[in-house]
Amino acid sequence: MRYRYVVRIGPQDVGQRVVVRWRRPAPGGDEVADVVGPLEAADDRHFAVRNRRGELVEIPRDRALAAKVIPPR
């Protein structure tokens, strides 16, 4: 069985709680990570998500593997 990642968020979802799986730069190569929180910005080049620690995580759109809106906590 194959799974296909799909990015399903955009500017229309700003303010919604989202999860984004992305390739994060790390020593020795990229690693896959998830960030969950409210989407604060989205455009053709990046997504900005505020994580639970209050940090703003900026994700280049070309590094996003999958993303979707999720229900509130």
Average pLDDT, the chain: 96
Tell me the CA distances in angstroms from 52 to 16, 18, 28, 29, 43, one per residue in order.
14, 12, 27, 25, 22
Containing domain of residue 39, as a range?
A: 11-69
pTM, two decimals, is 0.92
CATH of the domain at 19: 2.30.30.520
Q: 3 pLDDT exceeds 90? A: no
Binned at pLDDT 50, 70 and 90, residue 73 comes out as: confident
Q: 1 pLDDT exceeds 80? A: no
Residue 17 belongs to some domain of the structure: yes
Total tally of structural domains belonging to the chain:
1
**pLDDT tens across 41-59, in order?**
999 999 999 999 999 999 9
Q: 2 pLDDT exceeds 90? A: no
Residue 72: exposure state from Cβ atoms within 10 A (0-12, 13-18, ≥19)? exposed
Residue 56 belongs to some domain of the structure: yes
Give the pLDDT mean for 4-24. 96
Residue 4 belongs to some domain of the structure: no
